């Protein structure tokens, strides 16, 4: 989240055609990337950047980077940390600049021209990365420094950079013989074909299925769900009927509200058998092949299993640590899930239903339970979450915690006219960075919410350069004379992205390249969310937009209690999927599996209860095929960290400055430059513990049956 590109993307490319070109175009003096920005705080001059400025800047940036790398490689003197690692780290300055501006703009403020450039530049950037990773001369230099590191008196940050840089080459096969490198390439190619096929099959199976129902079957469903189902049927040429699909926004409202057991079972069976129907979209064999190829691939690279390879660069470090956490949580979640089953069975019995709860009944009876025990109404809450109140409350929280002040900036270029610009000042009044906030949806913006950087904190001539950070959202719009009233989830999202922003604003990284562990990256953001719903903080900022009355205590209580709803189920179905992921990827080559029996046996072995199906079954578990392989655990890993870190504040007071300063100094300033576990221990005084997570999810309660 902090850096869009790693060093390997931004440091230079062997664009031979360009490098050999003698008549370089004269530098365009009107291109803002080719001179200093001359703006307040040196923010990008958004008003002066034209679409046609990007491509020449990318190309010049790559040329410069390439020349800098050539210089490192051809240097006749012995490789040192300074002439190799530091030189590589500081190369490609222009390319970094243009990349950060371009990719931030193409997600938040795109248009046809930018989309065209994106298509053009993406393969060039990928090729650029490959060329560097396969640059034998460069790797030899890095390896020499790595092998002789004792000679260079490196401090911990330098050693961390060197280790990670070296590792990134080795993990891509730089240390292998030519023959093994060729085999690796072949395996990579096969894998890329199979992973694409796997996800295409899931898509096809999801799109192909429709359950048509008649008017009588619509009982209990909300109007909006019925309207969408009518639309879906009409699009499929079944006007006058209603269609439900296995896409989440269609199936889960049906599962939640339809009293028709048979239909619930019908669509749920379709959902959990995607990719497992013995047709041309069957994923059983494909997944088995992927698991096998990955096991072979990492064996070649010298690792025991794929999970060992993946986890080496994560905070978790190895499979045993992941299993420890998952098994421990599993033993706490199962009893709670069982007590949820018995609560729901009670409702079934009271209603005179003569059956045992099945997996396809869960959502329907959980909703009944939720209404009974936790009812929290969205429209009741929104008046207390006016966007400006949430934002100003957040700034107050930041001030109370860290002593920083955040004030609006006018007369400064903005990434979009609707964005707001802020000056973030440190306790002593010095400038920490610029923060943009861009709240509402528009056609040129991607879905979701994120935090990005137009410029990362970095050091030039021993002086820190302040970052330019942006947070982007798609929040509810104001309507008529009613201001933007956020949902509770949207309010938490604002805190979440602001947590990422603090990580960027407080960074004190001496080097451009940082290595943030994947299972650590959400700590700063998820931690911040805790303040959004703390009673003390809600009383401060959640005020009725008309009367300015603070939120009633009864609503605060409901917000707190709603956090316990259905947690046995949610934790169990999630853990089942996480464990399955780990089970596949801790198989050693040759790793022969037959997917269906493998999955069935494993869930039996760990004691998954019959009322719950894993959140994902093997043949549609997209995460474990692309990107989250041996990584699905990381959501709950990060949750353990944020709950435990927040507990440190709760122990001393949620605005305790000493704890906040320690968090800033030990984690936010260092993130990406030090081992994740070490940073956590430095802050917390010990390794993370799971009790705060269990407590906050209501998983500490004893089973009642």
* 702: CB partners within 8 A, 6+ apart: 335
Give CA–CA dist 333/374, Å, rounded. 20
Which of 565, 574, 567, 564 has its CA nearest to residue 608? 574
At closest approach, how far in Å is the CB of 528 from Zn ion?
10
At closest approach, how far in Å is the CB of 525 from Zn ion?
4
Phi first, then psi: give them for residue 147, nearest 5 degrees: -70, -25
Give CA–CA dist 356/364, Å, rounded. 14
Site residues (CB under 5 A) for Zn ion, limited to 79-118: none
Q: Does the protein bind Zn ion through residue 586 (CB under 5 A)? A: no
State the residue for tokens 């986890």: 311
Give CA–CA dist 530/537, Å, rounded. 10
Q: Which DSSP category does 666 fall into?
A: I
The three-state secondary structure class of 211 is strand
Nearer to Zn ion, 521 or 595 (CB): 521
At closest approach, how far in Å is the CB of 147 from Zn ion?
38
Which positions from 508 to 527 touch Zn ion by CB under 5 A, shown as an x/- string?
-----------------x--
At closest approach, how far in Å is the CB of 500 from Zn ion?
6
Give CA–CA dist 525/47, Å, rounded. 31
At closest approach, how far in Å is the CB of 641 from Zn ion?
13
Which CA distances in Å does 503 have to 41, 433, 472, 530?
A: 19, 12, 16, 16
Which of 587, 640, 593, 519 has its CA nearest to residue 307? 587
At closest approach, how far in Å is the CB of 390 from Zn ion?
17
Nearer to Zn ion, 276 or 525 (CB): 525
Q: Which DSSP category does 411 fall into?
A: S
Half-sphere exposure at residue 553, Cβ-oriented, CA atoms within 13 angstroms: 0
Which of 644, 609, 624, 520 has its CA nearest to residue 579? 624
Phi first, then psi: give them for residue 654, nearest 5 degrees: -70, -10
At closest approach, how far in Å is the CB of 157 from Zn ion?
25
Nearer to Zn ion, 15 or 501 (CB): 501
At closest approach, how far in Å is the CB of 443 from Zn ion?
24
Number of residues that bind Zn ion (CB under 5 A): 1
Q: Outline where 156-282 has alpha helix (H).
A: 156-170, 178-208, 223-235, 248-257, 261-272
Nearer to Zn ion, 415 or 452 (CB): 452
Looking at beta carbons, which residue is closest to Zn ion? 525
Which of 77, 72, 198, 80 has its CA nearest to residue 135? 72
Nearer to Zn ion, 525 or 614 (CB): 525
At closest approach, how far in Å is the CB of 245 from Zn ion?
29
Site residues (CB under 5 A) for Zn ion, limited to 522-581: 525
Neighbours of 658 (CB within 10 A): 9
At closest approach, how far in Å is the CB of 497 from Zn ion?
7
Nearer to Zn ion, 512 or 525 (CB): 525
Give CA–CA dist 650/642, Å, rounded. 12
* 700: CB partners within 8 A, 6+ apart: 332, 691, 694
Q: Are 510 and 518 in contact (CB under 8 A)?
A: no
> Which residues on neighbouring strands pair with residue 424, listed in sequence order?
406, 433
Nearer to Zn ion, 291 or 639 (CB): 639
Taking phi first (over 0 means left), then psi (-120 to 50 degrees means alpha), and beta for anything else, what does residue 254 get?
alpha
State the residue for tokens 């700590």: 523
Residues with catalytic roles: 497
Q: Which DSSP category does 25 fall into?
A: P
Q: Which DSSP category does 6 fall into?
A: -
**3-state percent helix, strand, coil for the chain, nearest multiple of 5:** 60, 5, 35
Phi first, then psi: give them for residue 243, nearest 5 degrees: -125, 135
Phi first, then psi: give them for residue 184, nearest 5 degrees: -60, -45
Give CA–CA dist 166/85, Å, rounded. 10
Nearer to Zn ion, 135 or 525 (CB): 525
Nearer to Zn ion, 525 or 618 (CB): 525
At closest approach, how far in Å is the CB of 487 from Zn ion?
18
Nearer to Zn ion, 3 or 60 (CB): 3
Q: Are 176 and 301 in contact (CB under 8 A)?
A: yes
Nearer to Zn ion, 529 or 581 (CB): 529
Give CA–CA dist 424/611, Å, rounded. 51
Residues near Zn ion (CB under 5 A) are 525
């Amino acid at each position: 989240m902090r850096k869009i590109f790693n060093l390997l993307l931004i440091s230079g490319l062997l664009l031979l055609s360009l490098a050999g070109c003698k008549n370089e175009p004269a530098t365009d003096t009107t291109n803002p990337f080719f001179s200093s920005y001359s703006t307040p705080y040196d923010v990008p001059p958004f008003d002066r950047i034209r679409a046609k400025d990007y491509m020449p800047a990318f190309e010049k940036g790559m040329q410069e980077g390439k020349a800098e790398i050539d210089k490192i490689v051809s240097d006749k003197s012995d490789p040192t940390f300074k002439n190799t690692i530091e030189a590589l780290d500081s190369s490609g300055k222009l390319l970094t600049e243009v990349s950060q501006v371009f990719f931030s703009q193409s997600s938040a403020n795109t248009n046809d021209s930018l989309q065209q450039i994106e298509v053009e530049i993406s393969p060039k950037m990928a090729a650029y990365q490959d060329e560097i990773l396969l640059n034998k001369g460069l790797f030899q230099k890095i390896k020499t420094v790595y092998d002789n590191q004792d000679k260079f008196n490196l401090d911990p940050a330098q050693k961390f950079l060197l280790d990670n840089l070296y590792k990134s080459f080795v993990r891509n096969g730089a240390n292998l013989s030519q023959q093994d490198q060729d085999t690796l390439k072949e395996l990579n190619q096969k894998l890329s074909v199979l992973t694409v096929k796997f996800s295409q099959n899931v898509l096809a199976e999801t799109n192909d299925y429709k359950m048509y129902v008649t008017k009588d079957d619509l009982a209990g469903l909300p109007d909006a769900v019925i309207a969408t189902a009518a639309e879906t049927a009409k699009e499929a040429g079944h006007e006058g009927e209603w269609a439900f699909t296995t896409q989440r926004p269609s199936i889960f409202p049906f599962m939640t509200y339809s009293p028709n057991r048979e239909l619930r079972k019908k669509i749920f069976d379709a959902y959990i058998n995607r990719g497992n129907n013995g047709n041309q979209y069957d994923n059983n064999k494909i997944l088995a092949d992927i698991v096998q190829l990955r096991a072979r691939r990492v064996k070649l690279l010298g690792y025991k299993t794929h999970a060992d390879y993946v986890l080496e660069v994560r905070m978790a470090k190895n499979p045993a640590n992941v299993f420890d956490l998952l098994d421990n949580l599993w033993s706490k979640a199962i009893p709670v899930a069982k007590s949820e089953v018995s609560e729901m069975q009670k409702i079934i019995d009271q209603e005179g239903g003569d059956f045992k709860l099945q997996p396809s009944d869960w959502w329907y009876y959980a909703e009944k339970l939720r209404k009974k025990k936790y009812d929290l109404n969205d429209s009741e809450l929104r008046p207390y979450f006016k966007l400006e109140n949430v934002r100003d409350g957040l700034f107050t929280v930041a001030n109370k915690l860290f002593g920083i002040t955040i004030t609006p900036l006018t007369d400064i270029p903005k990434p979009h006219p609707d964005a707001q610009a802020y000056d973030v000042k440190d306790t002593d009044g010095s400038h920490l960075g610029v923060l943009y906030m861009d709240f509402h949806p528009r056609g040129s913006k991607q879905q979701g919410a994120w935090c990005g950087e137009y410029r990362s904190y970095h050091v030039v001539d021993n002086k820190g350069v302040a970052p330019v950070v942006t947070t982007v959202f798609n929040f509810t719009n104001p309507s008529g004379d009613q201001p933007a009233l956020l949902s509770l989830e949207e309010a938490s999202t604002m805190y979440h992205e602001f947590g990422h922003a603090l990580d960027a604003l407080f960074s004190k990284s001496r080097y451009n390249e940082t290595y943030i562990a994947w299972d650590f990256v959400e700590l700063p953001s998820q931690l911040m969310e805790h303040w959004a719903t703390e009673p003390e903080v809600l009383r401060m900022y959640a005020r009725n937009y008309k009367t300015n009355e603070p939120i009633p205590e009864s609503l605060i209580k409901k917000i707190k209690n709603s956090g316990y709803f259905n947690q046995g189920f949610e934790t169990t179905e999630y853990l089942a999927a996480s464990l399955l992921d780990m089970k596949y990827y801790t198989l050693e080559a040759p790793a022969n599996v037959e997917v269906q029996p493998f999955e069935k046996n494993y869930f039996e072995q760990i004691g998954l209860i019959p009322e719950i199906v894993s959140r994902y079954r093997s043949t549609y578990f997209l995460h474990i095929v692309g990107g989250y392989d041996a990584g699905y655990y990381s959501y709950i890993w990060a949750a353990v960290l944020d709950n435990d870190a927040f507990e440190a504040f709760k122990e001393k007071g949620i605005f305790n400055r000493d704890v906040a300063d320690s968090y800033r100094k030990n984690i936010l300033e260092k993130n990406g430059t030090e081992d994740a576990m070490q940073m956590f221990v430095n802050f917390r005084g010990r390794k993370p513990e799971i009790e705060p997570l269990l407590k906050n999810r209501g998983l500490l309660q004893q089973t009642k049956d």
